[in-house]
Each structure stands twice: as structure tokens, then as C-alpha cells.
Amino acid sequence: MEVKSNRYDIPKRDGSVWPEDICPAYTSREDAIPSIQGCWYCKYADFHLKEERALEVGICNWPKIIIE
Ligand code: SF4
């Protein structure tokens, strides 16, 4: 199966991001697993994690923190 992951040179501000995508501004949220990195675990990503259904594709809100 094709793995959808991209490495961006800069944050994908206001753009859609896959859970395994990453950029140099990656900052892990507090409950992230240290060995795993990616937009899914990034403070700046909005995957609707606090809502009933998380999104498959999130939005990068850098530099606005979405989840600590
Ligand atoms: S969500 Fe985080 S790691 Fe992903 S592009 Fe935005 S700033 Fe970078």
C-alpha cells in the first residue's frame, strides 16, 4: 500500500496535511509518542482530535497552536 507522507521545507500553513507528513516546524503535542513524529502529533495541526470523529486529513494552522 502506498504510504502517504510528505516532507515539507516550510510549514504547510492553512493547507491540508496527512498524519505522517512533517516539516521543520514540527512541535510534538504533550501526549505524543516520542519516537513517532508527523503532523498528526504536531501542536499546529487540526485533525479535530477533540471531536467525535477525527479527520483523515488535517489542516496545518502554523503558527497557531491547536492542541497542547
Ligand atoms: S502540522 Fe506541524 S509538522 Fe505538519 S506542516 Fe504544520 S507545522 Fe509542520
Q: Name the pLDDT band for 2 (thresholds 50, 70, 90).
A: low
Distance 47 CA to ligand 1 centre (A): 12
For residue 6, the model assigns a pLDDT of 96
**Domain membership flag for residue 55:** yes
Is the pLDDT at 23 greater than 80? The verdict is yes
Interval 44-53: pLDDT, tens = 999 999 999 9
Boundaries of domain holding 26: 10-68
Please give the Cα distance from 59 to 62 (Å, whole number). Answer: 9
Average pLDDT over residues 16-40: 96
Domain count, the chain: 1
- The DSSP code sequence of 23-50 is -TT--B-TT--TT--SGGGBTTEE--TT
Q: What is the pTM of this model?
A: 0.92
**Domain membership flag for residue 4:** no
Angle at 64 between CA 39 and CA 40, to 5 degrees: 15
The atom number, within ligand 1, closest to the CA of 12 reads 5
| Pair 7, 25: CB distance under 8 Å | no
The atom number, within ligand 1, closest to the CA of 43 reads 2
**Domain membership flag for residue 31:** yes
Q: How many other β-carbons are positioned within 10 Å of the β-carbon of residue 21? A: 23
**Domain membership flag for residue 64:** yes
